[in-house]
Structure 1
Amino acid sequence: MRSGEELDGFEGEASSTSMISGASSPYQPTTEPVSQRRGLAGLRCDPDYLRGALGCLKVAQVILALIAFICIETIMECSPCEGLYFFEFVSCSAFVVTGVLLILFSLNLHMRIPQINWNLTIFGFLATAVYAVNTFLAVRKWRVSVRQQSASDYIRARTESRDADGRPEVQRLDT
C-alpha cells in the first residue's frame, strides 16, 4: 500500500482524492457551461402560423403581389407610363416587404428580437401606406389643377385673339 504522500501524486499535480471531491482541488472549472446556440441552426418553420388566418393571409399577399409584378413586367409599351411605374413600384415593394414579414413570422424570428414590438411595426406599415395614398391623391389633384390652369390659359389666349379683330388699335398683318 502506498503512503499518504504517494496518494497526493507528484508535486504540483492534483491528487486523485482531491479531484473526486473537488472541494480542495486547485483545478476548479473556471468557465461556464456552453449554452445552446441561438444562431440560424435552430430555425424551424412554424406550421401552425402558416395554417392560421394570419399566415394564410400573408401567403396570399405574397402570391398576389408577385402575380401583379409579373403582369406589369409583361407590358411592352405604354404611352402615359407614370401610373404603370407607380404600380410596378408598389407591387414589387409589397412583394418584398410582405415576403420578409412572412419569413420572420413563419420561422419565429420575431421572437428572437424582443426589442421590436412587431404588432406596432405592422401598424407602422399601415400608416406608411395611408401616407402613400394621401401623397398619390395630392399629386393627382395638383395635376388636375395644372391641366385646368393650362386649359384656361389657352381659352384666355384664344379669346384675346378673337377680340383683336374687333379692336381698331390692333392692326392685322395680313392686309
Structure 2
Amino acid sequence: MRTSEEAEGFDGEASNTSMISGASSPYQPTTEPVQPRNILGGIRCDMEYLISVFGILKVAEVVLALIAFISIEFIMLCLPCGGVYFFEFVSCSAFVVTGVLLLVFCLNLHTKVPQVNWSLTDLVNTAASTFFFFLASVVLVALNHTSGAEIAAVIFGFLATFVYAVNTFLALKRWRMGDRQSGAVQTSEYMRARTASRGEMEARPNLA
C-alpha cells in the first residue's frame, strides 16, 4: 500500500510528464476564434457612381427602356405585327442587360472580376442598344403609328436612342483614355526593365 508521500510524488511526476508532453506536442489548441467567411463582404451601393454622369445615364436608360417596353405591351391590335414584336424584343433586352450592368457598377461588383474589361463591355452594350433602339423605332413608326400606345413607344424609343448615343460617345472616350494609360504604363515598364538590364551589363566585369 502506497504512502501519502509516494502518491504525492507520483502525482507530481505525472503532472510534470503531462506538461512536458503538452509543451512538445505539435497539436496545440488555438485560442483564435474562427471567423465565418463573408461572401458578400465589400458589396455596397456606390452613391458616387449613381450621381456621376455614367450613373445618371444608366438610370435614364433603364427607365426609358422600361417605359418603352410597357408602352408596346399596351398595343392590343397590330397589323402588321413584325415591328411591334421587334420593338418589344429590343426594349426588353436593353432593359435587362443595362439593368444588370447598372447593378454591377452600382454595387462595385466589377472590382470582384478584374479579368473582364468592363469599360469595353459597357461600350459594346451602349453601342448595340443605340443601333437597335433606333432601328426598332424607325420600323415601328413606319409600320405602326396609329394608336396612342404605338406613338408613345416610338417617342420613348427615340429618347432611349438619344441617351444611349450620348453614353456611347462618353464610353468610347473613356475606353480610349484607358487604353492610352495602360499603353503608357506598359511602355514605361518596358523602358525601366531595359534600362535595368543595360545597367547590369555595364556593371558586369569583362573576364576576357
Which structure 1 residue ranges, 5 or more long, are not aligned?
A: 19-23, 141-175
**Residues 119 and 85 of structure 1, relative CA distance in 2, 3 Å threshold:** same
**Residues 133 and 94 of structure 1, relative CA distance in 2, 3 Å threshold:** closer
What is the letter of the counterpart of residue 45 of structure 2? C
Instruction: Write the mapping of 1:91-130 to structure 2, written as runs, cut at 5 A.
Output: 91-126=91-126, 128-129=128-129
C-alpha deviations, 1:86-123, integer Å up to 9, x for none?
A: 11111111110110001111111111111111001122
Q: Partner residue of 2:197?
A: none
For residue 50 of structure 1, report the CA deviation from its aligned partner: 1.1
Give the RMSD, CA atoms, in angstroms.
3.6
For residue 79 of structure 1, report the CA deviation from its aligned partner: 1.2
Which structure 2 residue ranges, 5 or more long, are not aligned?
A: 1-7, 140-208
Aligned length: 127
Q: TM-score, normalised by structure 1?
A: 0.58
Instruction: Write the mapping of 1:133-152 to structure 2, written as runs, cut at 5 A.
Output: none
C-alpha deviations, 1:49-73, integer Å up to 9, x for none?
A: 1121111111111111111111110
**1 CA distance for matches of 2:98 and 2:130?**
16
**1 CA distance for matches of 2:120 and 2:38?**
25
Instruction: Write the mapping of 1:42-57 to structure 2, written as runs, cut at 5 A.
Output: 42-57=42-57
Indicate whether 1:89 and 2:98 are aligned: no
Relative to total residues, which structure has the larger helix share, 1 or 2? 2
Which fold has the larger relative contact order, with Cα–Cα distance below 8 Å and residues 6 or more apart in sequence?
A: 2
Give % identity. 54
Q: TM-score, normalised by structure 2?
A: 0.50
**Residues 123 and 86 of structure 1, relative CA distance in 2, 3 Å threshold:** same
Partner residue of 1:9 out of 12, 18, 30: 18
Larger Rg: 1
C-alpha deviations, 1:4-34, integer Å up to 9, x for none?
A: 76323179x51xxx2xxxxx4422579xx96
Q: Partner residue of 1:60?
A: 60
Maintained 8 Å contact 2:98/2:125 = no
